[in-house]
Amino acid sequence: MELKDAIRKRISVRGYKKDPVPENILSEILEVSLRSPSAMNVQPWEITVVTGKPLAQICQENMALLQGGKMPGADLGHAKPYEGVHKDRQRTLGFELYGLLGIARDNKEKRNEWMMTGFRSFDAPAVIIVSADESLEARLAASDIGGLIQTICLVALEYGLGTCINGQGILFPDVVRKVTGIPISQKMYICIAIGYPDWDHPANKLISARESMKTVVSWVGFEKN
């Protein structure tokens, strides 16, 4: 697939077929994705790929904790709530997604049900969890890991796979640690749901908006036409 096509084609896939993803395919995707750049080439990432019964156990325990009223919390602490234009963009995403899913704004039960699918990594057959040693500065590690995860998502397209980068799947870090053995000294940054997309799923019809170049790009030192 041509690179620019892949970049335009990638979307967050939030509905998957049950078919498992063969280990050799995941391995090929990761092998090439490990060419991603990192500051000083420190390659901060530690990658844990989970499928089958262990993944089912994580999802079940996440559900039980949510149903029991336990508050989720990221390994790296709470993110500040968005404000201003960022809050607007977040809201737009929510309106569009819930619209496609046919969930009304005031339907708290259905909204909650949908929120819970994120804690099951959208029922994907596999997840890729990316962690980094606690000694590493999160600012640098996060940008390195950002490059890696986008690369994984793009390479996955070559195999007909869909992905959804998400924080929800690892918001009960103790559960993930217990099942996978990720040590406490590694901080979990992000998770990628991966599998064969169910293109009939309404959530997969979402093409999320982007700001125009005019809004986000400044040109310095170029001749005005």
Ligand X SMILES: Cc1cc2nc3c(=O)[nH]c(=O)nc-3n(C[C@H](O)[C@H](O)[C@H](O)COP(=O)(O)O)c2cc1C
Helix axes 84-101, 108-118, angle to 10 degrees: 100
Tokens at residue 188, please? Answer: 């979990």
**Helix boundaries (H) for 68-212:** 84-101, 108-118, 138-157, 173-180
Burial class (CB in 10 A: 0-12, 13-18, 19+), 28: middle
Question: Of 217, 174, 140, nearest to 57 (Cα)?
Answer: 174
> Which secondary-structure segment (H or E) carries 50?
strand 45-51
How many Å apart are CA 205 and CA 11, to the nearest integer?
9
- Using the rule CB under 6 A, which residue among 141, 190, 192, 194 binds ligand X? 190
Among residues 30, 116, 165, 179, the one that binds ligand X under rule CB under 6 A: 165
**Is 62 among the residues that bind ligand X (CB under 6 A)?**
no
Instruction: Work out whether 121 is an interface residue with ligand X (CB under 6 A).
Output: no
Q: Which stretch binds ligand X (CB under 6 A): 8-16, 19-27, 47-55, 132-140?
A: 8-16
> Per CB under 6 A, does 116 bind ligand X?
no
**Span interacting with ligand X, options 10-18, 20-28, 40-48, 124-132, rule CB under 6 A:** 10-18
Q: Is 100 in the site for ligand X (CB under 6 A)?
A: no
Residue of 6, 34, 93, 116 that binds ligand X (CB under 6 A): 93
128: nearest Cα among 189, 40, 184? 189
Rule CB under 6 A: say whether 131 interacts with ligand X: no
In this chain, which stretch among 9-17, 44-52, 133-141, 179-187 interacts with ligand X, using CB under 6 A? 9-17
Stretch that binds ligand X, among 40-48, 133-141, 162-170, 175-183 (CB under 6 A): 162-170
Q: Which residues bind ligand X (CB under 6 A)?
A: 11-12, 14, 93, 118, 164-168, 190, 208
